[in-house]
Each structure stands twice: as C-alpha cells, then as structure tokens.
C-alpha cells in the first residue's frame, strides 16, 4: 500500500505547487496621495508578484502626488522588481500628477486611459514641506528633480524633454499629447485591452535585459489590501486625523475635569493615540500641533485664572492657527480641509466657553448649605435685644448680635456667621 501512497502524495504536491506558481497578472490600485502607506502597499505587491512568479504587475494609478521620500522608495522597488511593472492611469478622469509622473515614468510600461492626464511635477508639489524656501534652495531642488526624471526617462526610452518640462515648467499632458510625444507607451480603454496590447511586446528592463511579455490567457488577479493597510489608509486621511486629535483632547479634558467619568477618558485616549499614529504617516508641522495644545491649555487656564475672556480668545486663535498649519504639505489632499477645521474649531471653542461659563457660575452661586448658606437669610427676632439675643432663621434658633436695636418680632437678615455659631444680623 505504501508504494502507492507515497507516489500519489508526491504527484499531489507537485500539482499543488504548479497551481500556486501558475503565472498570472497581478494588479494593485493606488488612488491616494503618495505617502508611506501607499509606498508599503506597492513594495508588498512587488514582493507578492515575485513570490507568486507573476508575469506582470499593473499599478492602477490615480494620484495628485505626495511625499518625495515615499515616491523614491516606490521607484527603487519598481526598478529592482524582477517582475515587469506597468503604470496604468485609469479610469477616465484619473491623473498621475507630481510624484505620480515620476513613478509612472520609472515603470517598464506607462499607459493611460482616455480622458486622463499626467505631469505638473514641479518639486514644490512633491516635497515634504509646504513652507517657503529661498530661491537658491528652490533651484537646487528643481535641478535635482529634473535630473532624476531625466535619468528615468532616458533609461525607459521616453521623451526626456516632455518629462523635464513637467518638472521645470509644471506642464501637464493629456493621454493623446503624452502618446504623440512618446512620453507613454499606449492608450487603453480597459485593463483587458491593455493586457491584449502588451501581449508579445518586447520590453527593455531597467538593467538592460530584453524581455518579451507573454500574457495570452493569463488570469488577472487584484491584490487585496490587508486589514492593517486598510486601517492605516483610513487614518492617514488628514481630515480624520484632525478629528481624532480634537476628539482626543476634548475627551481627556472631560476626564481630568471630572475624574471617574471613565468613558470620555477611554474615547479620548484611543482617539489621541490613533491621531499620533496618523501623524507618523502624514507630514506634520509640530509647531501647529503645539499651537493646538497651547490653545487647549489657554481654555483650561480660563477656568482657573480671571482673565475676563483674554485666555479664551487666545485659545480660539491658537487653536485655529495650529489647525491651519498642522499638516505641512502644498497638496490639498494631504491637508485638513477648511470645511472641517472651521466648524470643529468653532464647536470646540463653544464647548470650552460653555464649560468656563458653568464653572464661573458655580463659583459665584450663593451657597445653600453650611455656614455660608446662612448669609443673606431672613429670620425673626424671638426677643428684644441690643446687642445680643435669640432669632429664628433657617428652621433653627440661633444666638445673634446686632449693632441695631432689635425688638421682638422684627425681621432680621444674617450678614455674617461668627465663631461659636453666632450670627451677626441687621434689621430689615
């Protein structure tokens, strides 16, 4: 029996291995700004394509650009990929702007769908900072970016001048302009049309190796994002990161103001940690973060210090300015929108102002219990006296003194509670 079992297991193993290693076309979708998470997604996709012995990896691209450091990581992975990589700008209306152009030019094949565009790759759009810089530094960065894309275009046999003009002059091109100028390799309406057009095409890899693409009858498989990648992509949204930060600060404030509430502290702590995780992905301006924290401190101090609203006004201004400069990127997709900032700042400010009002009101409210609660109460004299006698007030009989002459039955008002529970009163 064993002589039949072992050969069967052997052939079964070979069959399963052949299925696993079956050549196929893998696709990955990047429809976000270029940042560390999109870089991770592409790098992992290239590793997956290598592991599964894929014949082609297609990047379905739609991006406004992003961070220079992440862009270079992605390009390095593309250049070193043993599997040919295709940049496919799709669907219609998509773009590969700024860093997206660099990534596309670096790929073995650069294709676009009808109604798409590419270009606008001036270094300001791909830098890690949205802050101003002197002219000399700007020229250095521009020259470096131009040299980088020129090298990529030359290696891939693409129109060097068009690529360089996209950097130096911020020019953008439609798919037909890019095709006519030989900046891209082809225009394809669909993914299937793209694969059919590339079947049998001879390509030259970045290392000079010539390879013929054999794509006929190859299945096309979309690489799904992992749960971790989906989570990081979600919290990498600058609007969500900003909301988490504000929610975290508000929750922690409520917890410290009302110890033992628990729920605000739990929500605030989790939100704040998620916000900090987002800030590891996004290009955060820490001056903006400090301004937001300073604004929160101003609101807290308004409760403790009599500033007649000066600290509250300073808190609103600090909170707004910090929110505006929180993310240092010229790309709108990497910054919190004013549509979020203005209502959130106004809402947070209103909440803090209401809290300040309630605290001040509580501190100035007349005490209803203890010795302080007797001050201002009106009672009746049980006897005539000057200066000491007995009065009935607040449901009890008290010893009282007065600078006035008090007759039995007169109404008196408590003006002070002295030692030994003696009330000083006046005639009313």
Q: In this structure, are 285 and 378 located in the same domain?
A: no
**Is position 298 within any domain?**
yes
3-state secondary structure of 96: strand
The secondary structure of residue 374, as a DSSP letter, is: G
- Is the model's pLDDT at 306 over the cut of 70? no
Q: Write out the catalytic residue numbers.
A: 98, 140
Q: In this structure, are 190 and 311 located in the same domain?
A: no
**Is position 5 within any domain?**
no
* Helix%, strand%, coil% for the chain, nearest 5: 50, 20, 30
CA atoms of 322 and 245, how far apart (whole Å): 12
Please compute the mean of the pLDDT values over residues 138-143 and round it to a whole number. 86
Q: In this structure, are 328 and 181 located in the same domain?
A: no
pLDDT digits (tens, 9 = 90+) for 37-51: 999 999 999 999 999
Q: What average pLDDT does the chain have?
A: 84
| pLDDT number for residue 103 | 97
Higher pLDDT, 109 or 308: 109
Q: In this structure, are 167 and 249 located in the same domain?
A: no
| pLDDT number for residue 11 | 46
Q: What is the CATH number of the domain that holds 111?
A: 3.90.226.10
pLDDT digits (tens, 9 = 90+) for 312-344: 888 888 989 998 888 877 777 778 888 888 888
| pLDDT number for residue 370 | 54
- Is the model's pLDDT at 2 over the cut of 60? no
**Is position 160 within any domain?**
yes
pLDDT digits (tens, 9 = 90+) for 57-113: 999 999 999 889 999 999 999 999 999 999 999 999 999 999 999 999 999 999 999
- CB-based contact 292:279 (threshold 8 Å): no
| pLDDT number for residue 255 | 78
**Is position 381 within any domain?**
yes
Q: What is the CATH number of the domain that holds 378?
A: 2.40.50.140
Structural domain that includes position 96: 21-228
Residue that is last in its domain, among 228, 251, 276: 228
Exposed / middle / buried, residue 24 (Cβ in 10 Å: 0-12, 13-18, 19+): middle
| pLDDT number for residue 414 | 82
Q: In this structure, are 320 and 181 located in the same domain?
A: no
CA atoms of 422 and 428, how far apart (whole Å): 18
| pLDDT number for residue 9 | 46
pLDDT digits (tens, 9 = 90+) for 56-69: 999 999 999 988 99
% residues pLDDT > 90 (the chain): 41
Say what the pTM is. Answer: 0.73
Please compute the mean of the pLDDT values over residues 290-301 and round it to a whole number. 86
- Asked which of 75-84, 199-208, 392-401 is least confident by mean pLDDT, the reply is 392-401
Q: In this structure, are 47 and 165 located in the same domain?
A: yes
CA atoms of 91 and 201, how far apart (whole Å): 23
CA atoms of 345 and 212, how far apart (whole Å): 58
pLDDT digits (tens, 9 = 90+) for 150-193: 999 999 999 999 999 999 999 999 999 999 999 999 999 999 99
Exposed / middle / buried, residue 50 (Cβ in 10 Å: 0-12, 13-18, 19+): middle
Exposed / middle / buried, residue 238 (Cβ in 10 Å: 0-12, 13-18, 19+): buried
| pLDDT number for residue 171 | 94
CA atoms of 276 and 264, how far apart (whole Å): 18
Q: In this structure, are 207 and 267 located in the same domain?
A: no
Residue that is last in its domain, among 317, 348, 364: 364
**Is position 42 within any domain?**
yes
């Amino acid at each position: 029996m064993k002589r039949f079992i072992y050969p069967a297991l052997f052939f079964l193993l070979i069959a399963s291995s052949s299925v696993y290693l079956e050549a196929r076309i893998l696709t990955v979708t990047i429809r976000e700004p270029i940042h560390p998470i999109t870089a991770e997604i592409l790098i992992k996709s290239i590793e997956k394509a290598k592991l599964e012995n894929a014949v082609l990896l297609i990047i379905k691209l739609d991006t406004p650009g992003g961070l220079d450091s992440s862009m270079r990581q992605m390009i390095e992975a593309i250049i070193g990929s043993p599997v040919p990589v295709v940049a496919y700008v799709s669907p219609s209306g998509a773009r590969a702007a700024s860093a997206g152009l660099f990534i596309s030019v670096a790929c073995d094949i650069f294709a676009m769908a009808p109604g798409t565009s590419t270009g606008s790759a001036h270094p300001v759009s791909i830098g890690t900072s949205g802050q101003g810089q002197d002219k000399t530094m700007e020229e250095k960065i521009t020259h470096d970016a131009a040299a980088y894309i020129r090298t990529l275009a030359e290696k891939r046999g693409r129109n060097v001048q068009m690529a360089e003009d996209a950097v130096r002059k911020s020019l953008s091109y439609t798919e037909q302009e890019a095709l006519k100028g030989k900046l891209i390799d082809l225009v394809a309406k669909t993914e299937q049309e793209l694969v059919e057009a590339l079947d049998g095409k001879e390509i030259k890899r970045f290392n000079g190796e010539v390879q013929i693409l054999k794509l006929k009858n190859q299945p096309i498989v979309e690489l799904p994002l992992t749960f971790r990648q989906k989570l990081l992509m979600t919290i990498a949204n600058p609007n969500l990161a900003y909301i988490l930060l504000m929610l975290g600060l508000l929750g922690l404030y409520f917890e410290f103001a009302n110890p033992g509430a628990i729920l605000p502290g739990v929500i605030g702590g989790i939100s704040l940690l998620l916000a900090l995780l987002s800030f590891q992905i996004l290009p955060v301006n820490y001056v903006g973060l400090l301004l937001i924290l300073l604004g929160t401190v101003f609101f807290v101090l308004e409760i403790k210090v009599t500033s007649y609203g000066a600290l509250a006004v300073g808190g609103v201004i600090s909170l707004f300015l910090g929110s505006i400069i929180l993310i240092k990127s010229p790309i709108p997709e990497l910054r919190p929108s004013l549509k979020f900032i203005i209502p959130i700042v106004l809402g947070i400010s209103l909440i803090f102002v209401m809290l300040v009002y309630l605290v001040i009101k509580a501190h100035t409210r007349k005490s209803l219990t203890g010795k302080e609660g007797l001050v201002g109460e009106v009672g009746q004299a049980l006897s005539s006296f000057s200066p000491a006698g007995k009065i009935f007030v607040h449901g009890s009989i008290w010893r009282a003194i007065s600078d006035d002459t008090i007759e039995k039955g007169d109404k008196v008002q408590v003006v002070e509670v002295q030692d030994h529970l003696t009330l000083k009163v006046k005639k009313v």
